[in-house]
Chains A and B, each alone.
Chain A
């Protein structure tokens, strides 16, 4: 069964460093999303991406964050100058259309020290 894959599963980074989280969405999907889940808190929407541009973003998704589809298969989330409070699980998701189910990856646990 097709699935969304995320790498790495766990990343540790020093405060102030840049990190790139990687995702391979399901191959025929056109809509891509990033979410985060701080330990013990809700899963929170960050951004949606379609046709090579951001279609929606939350107030969390500030200038520190950026997304990119660098090639035909990968979808990345870049966090510039990480802060301690960026420590969280980051989930990538994709959907075939804007009205069909979003499938989630297994997540990347980001730890900022």
Chain B
């Protein structure tokens, strides 16, 4: 079983739509969960970071972790064309915040 699984999409939505991106993970010991955004030919950029279960909101973005079902989500409200990118979920595997296991990424396209 893969440690972090993510539907690669692609996902295409109209501008203004609510976007839901999801991942599952296998190891209940994982505690730190992150969402990164990656534009084409660029490095990943941290969007949201949560510890353990619960919700975290930052502007139009909400990250949600459900440890009971090993499910993590990112919601984007009022999506914009500039949100078009690949979204990567990640969890911290090792002793530092840089030792991450990434999902494969979901490619999102927001159409004007």
Binding site for B on A (CB under 8 A): 4, 31-33, 41-45, 48, 50, 55-56, 91, 93-95, 97-107
Contacts and interface: CB of A to CB of B under 8 A. Distances in A.
Contacts of B105: 42-43
Interface in B43-65: 43-46, 49
B87 interface: no
B97 A102 contact: yes
Nearest 4 CB-CB pairs, A to B?
A104-B43, A102-B98, A33-B98, A98-B96
Contacts, number: 69
Interface of A is mostly: strand
Nearest to B4: A42
Interface of B: 41-46, 49, 88, 93-105
Given A44-B102, A45-B101, A98 B46 contact: no
A40 to B, nearest CB: 9
A47 B56 CA distance: 29
